[in-house]
Amino acid sequence: MGLLSDPSISTHNKLVDSLAKHMRKLCYVFYTAGVAWFMCLALPEFNHGTYLSENALSPGLVYPEIRIDANRLALQLLEELQRERKDHQSTTPHAWIMAKFNEFGLETYTHNFTLRYPFGGGKEFHGKNVYGILRAPRIGSTEGLVFSAPYRPPNSVHDEITASVPVLLAFADFARRKNYWAKDLVFLVTEQEQLGMQAWLEAYHDGYKNYHSSSAYLVAGSLPARAGSLQAALNIEVQDLEVDYVDVKVEGLNGKLPNLDMFNLVQRIMAREGVTSGYKHAPRKRRRMNLSPYEQNLRQMLSMLATQATGVPNGNHGLFHRYRIDALTLSAAKRVTNSNVKSNPSSATVPLLKSIEGISRSLNNLLERFHQSFFFYVIVHNDRYISIGDYMPALVALIACSFVKAYLSWSTLDAAERHAQQDAAGNETDPVVFSMKLSLPYGFVLVYLVVTLVIGYMGNVLPLQKYLMELSIGAGPLTLTMLIALNVAGIALPFYVVLPPGGLELLHICMLLIYGCALIVIGLLNFSLGFLVAALSVPMVVALNPSSRNGALRGLARLWALLLNPMVVIYTVVLVLTFYEFPELTFQQLLLRAVAAVMDAVTFALIDSVIYGNWLYFAACTVFFPLWIICWTLALAKQSDNEISHAKLKIN
């Protein structure tokens, strides 16, 4: 019976032991397969052509009804608005916009909101939105569509998009003359960029919850009137009535995207009207690059991943997604022409207005929300995409490294003790084999994990404490100082806390499991963020081995861990972007400007977290930073001979 119960001759143990000997190679095979899979997705054989899954979107493809008189109205409104802007250098001409809404026969209302600035020490900022509702003549107010345009005053630091409001008003004048609308049309003009849109959406859906709240930073207020349940939204940003091309923006809050059918609909209607459009479209000069189709597709994929990973919406449309409202932005760029070539301004905006009409008629015909096409995808080209079923295997292959290593490490945890016991007993089998797994310091490791989590979580709450805000320093230096202090605490923690024998191995296995589970969850919510983090950190995680005696490998793991510190990664990214934007700066000026940019970046990330609900800052502090502290602990750890002999004494 001893032979039957001896685990040393088990086929499973032999297989695990053989795999454990090549554990690092096996993990790197998974890593290489994941990266190679992602790179292959840029090839036409691995992606798909776009198509419309919802047949109800077809009415927008019929012959449009907007005529040239709508363009004349837009020109007239733009001239009037330019005169109004001279008297409103830093504010919005609400009275003029309301007068035009009333003139076109819309139900006109205003919406007031208040921002309690988190770092303002009690300061409040007030804003006002103007919106008009065109009630559906054929049905009750059960569903609605939103057409929005942000207004920027003359002193705004952003690009001028004054023509957005005249285009919106011209379309509103056209829409109120038609009787085929089955949904309420809401025409919204917001101010304060995304803040006004966020306040309006909160007031529309659940504004009554925080209207009297004393702890809310954004007091959304209440709306005097509402339309039906919002089905879709179209945000319009027009730099000039003479349009060169339209950049279709889809990235939303926390990396959410509109249904792929909506993007495909916009592309088809724009192509029908002869408007040059596309995802991340660039001017003609920038498009003239000697790149192969594969390189262009790969650049497009990486560009989308970089934008989506930040979780910051690149337009007002991105705030609709959290309420399950599909939305995107049409960003029309100004046409730059030769001074000797004269264009015809009397018809320059007609194709764009016809495109908006076609999109609105298609959305008006929807019987239910978008649901037939994909919500998770990567745009390779304007007419090519990658679905979630195609790109998720790349992320799964990367994350599999941590689970494979965790399983093999746990399975072989007491292998050395088992072999040592067999040698001491003269190869005589004993049915009762001592297992190191039973004597591991589970409680101590659990406390250590909690301590790292608390250190990371403090980054979310410390900068917002009132007694710290009263200090005579700005929001940027305060937030950066708190984060640097927490980083110092995380770096110093392994030098002051010594784990008992077996603690490093158990901490290593726990880190691998937590790391893999965290990236799976993040990858499902925001694939771009999960994939980029995995691509950067998996090689370091694979290289970590607290029981290794290879000095070169341990030194490489420590260097890699230090470079992947969240603050180091943020500073490196900002430094590269600063060099790209300001190549004329000297090296010293570049370093100082990057520090100032990092202060602004972390402050804005914290503000986005508490106002808009962007969870990138929270994930960086509560997930990534504690994991980094554990990796740093394992990289610095060195199992001494005393610990090894102590473990052997426990076995004997």
Q: Where are the domains of the chain?
A: 55-382, 439-651
CA-CA distances (angstroms) from residue 141 to 134, 145, 499? 10, 11, 65
Convert the pLDDT of each residue in 110-121 to its tens digit: 999 999 888 766
Distance CA 378, CA 388 (A): 8
Are the CB atoms for 162 and 81 separated by under 8 Å?
yes
Give the confidence band of 2 by pLDDT, cuts at 50, 70, 90.
very low
* DSSP strands (E only) in 31-122: 48-49, 107-116
Give the confidence band of 201 by pLDDT, cuts at 50, 70, 90.
very high
Whether the full predicted model's pTM is greater than 0.95, yes or no, is no
pLDDT over 70 percentage in the chain: 86
Average pLDDT over every residue of 476-497:
89
Convert the pLDDT of each residue in 501-552 to its tens digit: 888 889 999 999 999 999 999 999 999 999 999 999 999 898 888 877 777 7
| pLDDT at residue 214, rounded to an integer | 57
Amino acid at 85: R
CA-CA distances (angstroms) from residue 73 to 97, 100, 163, 172, 412? 14, 12, 12, 11, 77
Distance, C-alpha 51 to centroid of its chain: 26
What does the block give as tokens for 367? 């019987």
Average pLDDT over every residue of 219-244:
91
What does the block give as tokens for 50? 């776009």
Give the confidence band of 81 by pLDDT, cuts at 50, 70, 90.
very high
| pLDDT at residue 346, rounded to an integer | 54
Convert the pLDDT of each residue in 30-69 to its tens digit: 999 999 999 999 999 999 998 888 877 876 667 788 888 8
| Superfamily covering domain 55-382 | Zn peptidases (3.40.630.10)
Convert the pLDDT of each residue in 637-650 to its tens digit: 765 444 444 443 34
| pLDDT at residue 431, rounded to an integer | 44
Beta bridge partners of 126: 114
Is the pLDDT confidence value at 9 over 50?
no
| pLDDT at residue 303, rounded to an integer | 92
Is the pLDDT confidence value at 405 over 50?
yes
